Amino acid sequence: MPWWRRERAPGPEPRVEMLSRPGCHLCDQMLAVAREQVDEVRVRDIDAERAAGDMDQQEHDRWSTEVPVLIVNGEPVARWRIEPGELRLALSRGRRRGSGR
């Protein structure tokens, strides 16, 4: 759906992140769904973050088999796949809780 036709619930725009890794086709699919409804999605490459020392081994191990993971305002809302309706619901909840920024 084009950005100008997206219906948005009232409230601040939630912070949306996606944990990813290079070559992940499910990551590409989830990102496409997210970008249909969200202006800004921060994509975090867990392997690059681990190599740079920005993510410890325990956290990397936690997410390693679950990518892609979609996070709204710091809360994981989906792993592997998300349907547009599920994302709309998560974004609506995120707006009601505040942006967390």
pLDDT digits (tens, 9 = 90+) for 38-57: 989 999 999 999 999 999 99
Of the pLDDT bands very low, low, confident and very high (cuts 50, 70, 90), residue 9 is low
- pLDDT of res. 101: 44
Contact 80, 68 (CB under 8 A): yes
- pLDDT of res. 5: 44
**Domains of the chain: residue spans and CATH:** 14-97 (3.40.30.10)
pTM for the predicted model, two decimal places: 0.81
Overall average pLDDT of the 70-93 stretch:
94
Residue 20: Cβ within 10 Å count: 24
Q: Locate the DSSP E strands across the chain.
A: 16-20, 42-45, 69-72, 75-79
CA distance 2 to 93: 22
CA distance 87 to 38: 10
